[in-house]
Structure 1
């Protein structure tokens, strides 16, 4: 299991006012709205989520890095667990023409407003339930900022399902914290998290679930 950071340039390009979310807004109300995974979370006001997630090509470098690192080629099958609007999956099809992509997300809204070119390959579903694919079906399985939204027993189930459907490499990324400042910032900023673990605790969960893929962390410094 190797720690790999594909997302640092994206994450660090965004400016965040951590305190604003707990001083100017009713954080509990905002979180309740965000967890409906609808318009407000994806395209509504920033206090409810992304503040408008629109395609702008920023995921292309991430796709290129993944393709280079894992040697992804045409004909391979890729699954993105928690794909959202599937911008990354679209970029993978552009970087590797002929690659087969599939996305799973709990949000009906996200799928309905996903990148049009890959929308037919997206499935609405809960990643903590049995995934609708056979064992060892995918050559590469990834998940970005999804598993920290699960409570512990859901997390275990989701990790085991990710392992089950993969025959090739795996990579997942979650939000985490290494010190009290990062923990405070994470608590201020997050809207949908249930799992607030240090890297060491995340790795403990991975080992317990039999997850042997790569991983990354997002920190709110």
Structure 2
């Protein structure tokens, strides 16, 4: 298991006003979180004060992440990859651009995201939960999950980590974390769906105790 950062290039491109997020008069934090956790229109394409504010495909945004992952794991035509918490499938689609002939599959809890997914890979996405992956042991050459597992309560986090480990030959995940009180406050102010608030050391404890042997990285709200 290694720490490998594929996500900072995307995460750090967004500017955040933490105080405005938590003090908004129309969508105060509790209201925004209630709407976001329905995983429907408001979460993906509603007001920016709730979450994404319009989650659209941007040429090149996820392609650099796909290329870095493909290069690191030596992915090639015919390999199978699974995106756990794939949303609208933009990273899945960009994998097909950087590795022609790769087989991409996705799973997400949001029916809205699946219905609005990238047309080219829409038929490869199923509705489901990270806690129960409907696949065979070792079925995928790479299973990855980006910014998803921190949205699970502890009793489901255990199941999801074990499921990722079971179905993937190689595994990679990225979750939110914090290293100090400032990052902890910023995370609490900014997030609308997070349930697992862990330091890097606590995440490492989860990985070890759930038998997760894949790679990982963290994003911080600095």
Shorter-chain TM-score above 0.5: yes
Match of 2:195 in 1: 194
**Structure 2 residue matching 1:153: 3-state secondary structure:** helix
Match of 2:142 in 1: 140
Match of 2:175 in 1: 174
Q: Deviations over 1:77-97 (max 9, x none)?
A: 000000001100000011111
**Structure 2 residue matching 1:118: 3-state secondary structure:** helix
Match of 1:151 in 2: 153
CA distance in 2, matches of 1:95, 1:205: 32
**Structure 1 residue matching 2:120: 3-state secondary structure:** coil
CA distance in 2, matches of 1:193, 1:87: 22
Q: What is the aligned-residue RMSD (CA, Å)?
A: 0.7
**Could you list the runs of 5+ residues in structure 1 that have no partner in the other structure?**
none
Q: Deviations over 1:18-59 (max 9, x none)?
A: 111111231101100000000110011011111111001200
Q: TM-score, normalised by structure 1?
A: 0.98
CA distance in 2, matches of 1:47, 1:78: 33
Match of 1:89 in 2: 92
CA distance in 2, matches of 1:183, 1:120: 39
How many matched pairs? 219
CA distance in 1, matches of 2:204, 2:54: 32
Query: How do 1:44-59 residues align onto structure 2 when only pairs under 5 Å count?
Result: 44-57=46-59, 58-59=61-62
Match of 1:32 in 2: 34
How far does residue 60 in structure 1 lie from its aligned partner after superposition?
A: 0.5
Match of 1:212 in 2: 213
How far does residue 7 in structure 1 lie from its aligned partner after superposition?
A: 1.0
Match of 2:167 in 1: 165
Match of 1:68 in 2: 71
How far does residue 127 in structure 1 lie from its aligned partner after superposition?
A: 0.8
Q: TM-score, normalised by structure 2?
A: 0.97
CA distance in 2, matches of 1:50, 1:22: 15
Match of 1:127 in 2: 130
**Structure 1 residue matching 2:104: 3-state secondary structure:** strand
**Structure 1 residue matching 2:140: 3-state secondary structure:** coil
